[in-house]
A and B are shown apart, each in its own frame.
Chain A
Amino acid sequence: MKQLYKYILTVCAVALVFSCEETITIDTSTTDSRVVIEGLVTNVASGSYVKLSRSRNFYDNGQTDRITDAQVTVNTSTGEQIVFIHNPSGGTDSIGYYFPNPNFAGTVGITYTLNVEVEGETFTAAEEMQPVTTIDSLTSKIDEDEFDDPEEPGRHFAVFFFAKEPQDRADYYLFKFYRNGELLLDWPTDIYIADDEALGETIDDVEIAGYFKEGDNAKVEMYSLTRNGFIFYSDLSTLLNNDGGMFSPPPANPRTNLSNGAMGYFQVSAVDALEITVEDN
């Protein structure tokens, strides 16, 4: 379904073909800084973290304020409690990140309940881990247009993805694409999600983001999402790609599973990943 949404966005963009743009200064209102929670529990070891930060005023820049003194735990439906500890390695790029101690990997079918306490306020969310489909294979092919007129010299290979979509249940997916370990987005506000409402069983030849050169490593990560998770990412995508409410809906905060007015989401996903080295077949 992602493709459909993308087409809708294209259509809206086409409506603006006659338009010009310029940067203006807006009078924005301000709101009290809000707690922002980015939580992830996956079925792979070292794949779970919780990032805590605060929102800021529209025209501020630099890193947002991090919350370093919160109490973070995850309880499982099997009665275990996993404690998340702030920045155990002490790295400067991990300030505001909490990691499970000891490390753990989640299991499909188990419900995880996040509990975050910040300065006396409690924020919670619960998600069940959904199964994920297996990526069958990745292939690479020369993209004629990029070959003729490459954005970056030599990067004229497109990578395609193959999978089987189970038809007996409702699935929601989030995709992440990497080139040589670096995350790839065709556009900075792209979010690659799909629901399976209109998908058939055979998922063949779906092109991933970006172009590659020979020898590049291409990697696809596929995350299962709950319906709530899909809705959060779908809302987030609509917000990030909003035209200001002329054709697109008026901007609105994404619907989240977090309680108590926190921004962000607590995502629980099973992950499947596959990588290839791009070569000329």
Chain B
Amino acid sequence: MRKLMLMTWVLCLVGMAQAQEKFTLNGYVRDASNGEELIGVTVYVKEMQNGVITNPYGFYSLTLPKGTYHVEFSFIGMEPLEKEVNLNSDVSMNIELKEIAMDLNEVVVTGEREDEQVVNIQMSKNEIDIAQVKKLPALFGEPDIIKTVQMMPGVISAGEGTSSFFVRGGSADQNLILIDEAPVYDPSHLFGLFSVFNADVIKDSELYKGGIPSRFGGRLSSILEVRTKDGNNKEFGGEAGIGLLASSLMLEGPIKKDESSFIFSARRSYVDLFLKAANQDNIVYFYDINAKANWRANNKNRFFLAVYTGRDNFKFGDDFGFDWGNKTATFRWNHLFNDKLFSNTSLIASRFDYGLGSTTDSDGFQWDSNITEYTFKQDQSYFFNPNLSLDFGYHLTYRQFSPGIIEPEEGSIFKKTELQKEYALDHALYAGLEHKVSDRLTFQYGARLSVFQSIGEQMVYDYADVRDNRNPERTDSTFYDSFENIKTYVNVEPRFAARYILNESTSLKASYNRMVQNTHLVSSGTVPLPFNTWAPSSLYLKPQKADQFAIGYFKNLDNNNYELSVEAYYKDIQNVTDFADNARVFFNQDLITEYRQGTSEAYGAEFMLQKKKGALTGFVSYTWSKATRLVPDVNLNREFYANHDRRNNLNVVATYEYSDKWTFGGSFTYGTGRPITLPAGSYEYGDGYLPDIITERNGFRLRDFHRMDFSATLTPRKNAGKKYETSWTFSLYNAYSRKNPFSVYTRVQMDDDDNIVGDGTQKEARLIYLFPILPSVTYNISF
């Protein structure tokens, strides 16, 4: 017996000795042409028949026994590179990959290995290919990634002309929209005609709909992560675009060659210039500015600072105007502690604000509202070995909610009035382990601990009945000092994912995630307006919680030419936040009495076929889905269809590189009509009013939505040999001019000049639709 124990002891020592013989190979993989880090590059060790992929910062790390290895770096659109590595000590090796020289002036497709969707454990994720977005038909010729997001399987839009999107039965505020890790609270320009994301500076973008990794939290339904370019650190360059509605300019280049770089981009619309030309004294414009500086101090330390600011401004004559905008800033430090431990420290600030104002004599006022947050994030990746890696970290966010303040103008009938500010602290601790159990089976398991604190300074009121929104009665009040804890919510969010490879082109995946949301934006309509107000969880408002189960089948066909995926999901939401019927949401001192929390159930199936290689690229996506809600005091406490419940959705997107001169794009979208509340009758009241009788929320549907768009991009041949390249993009929106429903409302029958017809007792229904056939052209220069 003692002998056996000794044997074990010796074996362990041998094992340890062997372990000490292991060394780590790590480094960054970059694009040789501009120094941008490449994400998702396959690093394959031939001798081990195993490998890893580079992380979101282009970093890889492999720990292997001492020896000589042949390591291959491969990436779509890039020449594969093989290196022989003699691993008798830790080796740091940075790699630069060159683009494959192509006859056609072909776009380099995004960063992933060819069978990425089959082998990667992540399911329910869509990459938004910015190069493709730029070639697709666009409204007024302005490429917009959100419009492509809205065409992904599992994503539903409210129609057209909005930047809102609804993921797997979740509402619009359940999407965490990030630009360089900073949240964007309202991604809309011009009430959603365009998004705040300027295509010129976007490097890549991903949408997570399920199986959400533990490093993300704070929203129930999706994470849209948008990363901007780092700027070319080899040579100066830029792009300029002149469109019908907006123009943009982007400049990038090295600050110190190979070490530091910058990128700057600005975009401004000029609708108001047309208005001025038409002699109307109105101002309507938006702008975006993105700037980023990037510094690689050495191989172990990398810094960047990214800022974004954008704003919409509307002013009507001298009387009335309003504006809104986002500001974000991200400072990040990537640090390599040792060969296996990669760390990422971020300081993030984000602010969204809106204002409304009038300068007329008697009712002049300025109303301002904002939400401001500061976040500290410490994220680590630890690479145990090629089969085991750990992500863990801590996030801390401080938020200030300022729902509204009215400042009267001189001589105004208004008095200065302020709605109480609210403050919150959000802590999150997470860990996630990715574990390659065998060649076929990989697990990812993790959890996120979310600790939310509603804190002072605040006066918190007791209500006789917090659901009485007609005559809210404050019975008592408690004052909380600055940072004094008012209410704490602790939630554990388990995350789990599994992938099983059936054969080299097929895999099965499954996932479960719980998500918790402590920042609520309830919009009374289907689409949030910039003037809706974010609110934190509080004594009365509980955290929203979602549990989602998803399974998927992933197959690549025809030598990875086609990617097919089929997924099904079930999502159950607790404490889904809504407003009571007839809620008064603007400037209500007792807004808390208008919130209602209920349950929501959503399920669906998604299908996606994608072609990423060749002259013809594109995708077909189809979604069948259902989403219902049950909320007290809404629809007489009966279940109703969510505003974004649209049973069938089909999207077809294609681009075709016809020659080195011409590229064509086309898209088709079809969706079941949005649910709508229509009357069951009407009655007379007061001074000729004919109000409707409403019996059921969302009991009807708008008619089906469908639309086809085309685009053509012309890159003249004379570009050859010049220092700059020009191109023209022609777009045709709504090619067959379908009158797609935006909304339906009722009124007393009127003629075209808005005069009441007859005795004013006949009611009628009016369909609002947005865009008829709309051609546009954009001119682009890149240098």
Please give the residue numbers on chain A whose beta carbons come within 8 Å of chain B beta carbons, in ascending order. Answer: 1, 3-5, 7-8, 10-12, 14-16, 18-31, 33-34, 36, 38, 53-59, 61-64, 160, 165, 176, 183, 185, 188-189, 191, 197-207, 227-228, 231, 234-236, 238-240, 242-255, 263-265
B579 and chain A: residue at smallest CB distance = A249
What are 6 A-to-B residue pairs whose CB atoms are below 8 Å? A22-B739, A33-B681, A59-B763, A61-B761, A198-B587, A246-B159
Contact B677 A38 (CB under 8 A): no
Q: Which residues of B contact A252 (CB under 8 A)?
A: 581-582, 677, 694, 697
A265 and chain B: residue at smallest CB distance = B685
User: Quick one: given A5-B586, A22-B739, A26-B765, are A199 and B414 in contact (CB under 8 Å)?
Assistant: yes
Contact B470 A20 (CB under 8 A): no
Contact A205 B361 (CB under 8 A): yes
Contact B684 A15 (CB under 8 A): no
Q: Which residues of B contact A236 (CB under 8 A)?
A: 685-686, 689, 691
Q: Which residues of B contact A34 (CB under 8 A)?
A: 681, 683, 693
B408 and chain A: residue at smallest CB distance = A200
A38 and chain B: residue at smallest CB distance = B685
Interface residues on chain B, size class: 35 or more
Q: Which residues of A contact B191 (CB under 8 A)?
A: 14-15
Q: A7-B358, A19-B768, A255-B470 are in contact. List 12 more A-B contacts (CB 8 A).
A: A12-B529, A16-B742, A29-B680, A34-B683, A36-B683, A188-B756, A197-B587, A201-B415, A205-B361, A242-B746, A246-B525, A247-B526
Contact B193 A200 (CB under 8 A): no
User: Quick one: given A22-B739, A255-B582, are A56 and B683 in contact (CB under 8 Å)?
Assistant: yes
Q: Which residues of B contact A244 (CB under 8 A)?
A: 676-677, 743-745, 768
Contact A28 B643 (CB under 8 A): no
User: Quick one: given A55-B683, A57-B681, A252-B582, are A1 and B587 in contact (CB under 8 Å)?
Assistant: yes
Expressed in whole angstroms, the minimum distance between the Cβ of A165 and any Cβ of chain B is: 8
A7 and chain B: residue at smallest CB distance = B356
A23-B721 Cα distance, complex, nearest whole Å: 57
Contact B683 A18 (CB under 8 A): no
Asked if B692 lies at the interface with its beta carbon under 8 angstroms from chain A, I say yes
Contact B643 A176 (CB under 8 A): no
Q: Which residues of B contact A24 (CB under 8 A)?
A: 744, 765-767
Encode B73-86 as 1/0 by CB contact (under 8 A) with A. Answer: 00000000000000
Expressed in whole angstroms, the minimum distance between the Cβ of A227 and any Cβ of chain B is: 6
Contact A3 B680 (CB under 8 A): no
Give the A-B contact count at a CB cut-off of 8 A: 249
Nearest first, the 8 A-B pairs at minimum CB distance are: A249-B524, A200-B415, A244-B743, A205-B362, A55-B683, A31-B680, A252-B581, A246-B743
User: Quick one: given A56-B682, A199-B415, A234-B584, are A249 and B525 in contact (CB under 8 Å)?
Assistant: yes
User: Quick one: given A38-B685, A243-B768, A247-B527, are A29 and B676 in contact (CB under 8 Å)?
Assistant: no
Contact B677 A245 (CB under 8 A): yes
Contact B679 A58 (CB under 8 A): yes
Asked if B668 lies at the interface with its beta carbon under 8 angstroms from chain A, I say no
A118-B516 Cα distance, complex, nearest whole Å: 52
Contact B696 A23 (CB under 8 A): no
Q: Which residues of B contact A200 (CB under 8 A)?
A: 408, 412-415
User: Quick one: given A21-B768, A246-B525, are A31 and B681 in contact (CB under 8 Å)?
Assistant: yes
Contact B763 A58 (CB under 8 A): yes
Asked if B417 lies at the interface with its beta carbon under 8 angstroms from chain A, I say yes
Contact A239 B691 (CB under 8 A): yes
Asked if B688 lies at the interface with its beta carbon under 8 angstroms from chain A, I say yes
Asked if B322 lies at the interface with its beta carbon under 8 angstroms from chain A, I say yes
Q: Which residues of A contact B762 (CB under 8 A)?
A: 59, 61
Contact B767 A8 (CB under 8 A): no
Q: When the two chains form the complex, which single residue of B193, B322, B693, B770 contacts A55, counting CB atoms closer than 8 Å?
A: B693
A198-B745 Cα distance, complex, nearest whole Å: 31
Q: Which residues of B contact A23 (CB under 8 A)?
A: 764-767
Contact B361 A198 (CB under 8 A): no
A239-B579 Cα distance, complex, nearest whole Å: 16
Q: Which residues of B contact A251 (CB under 8 A)?
A: 677, 679, 692, 694
Q: When the two chains form the complex, which single residue of B678, B745, B769 contacts A28, counting CB atoms closer than 8 Å?
A: B678
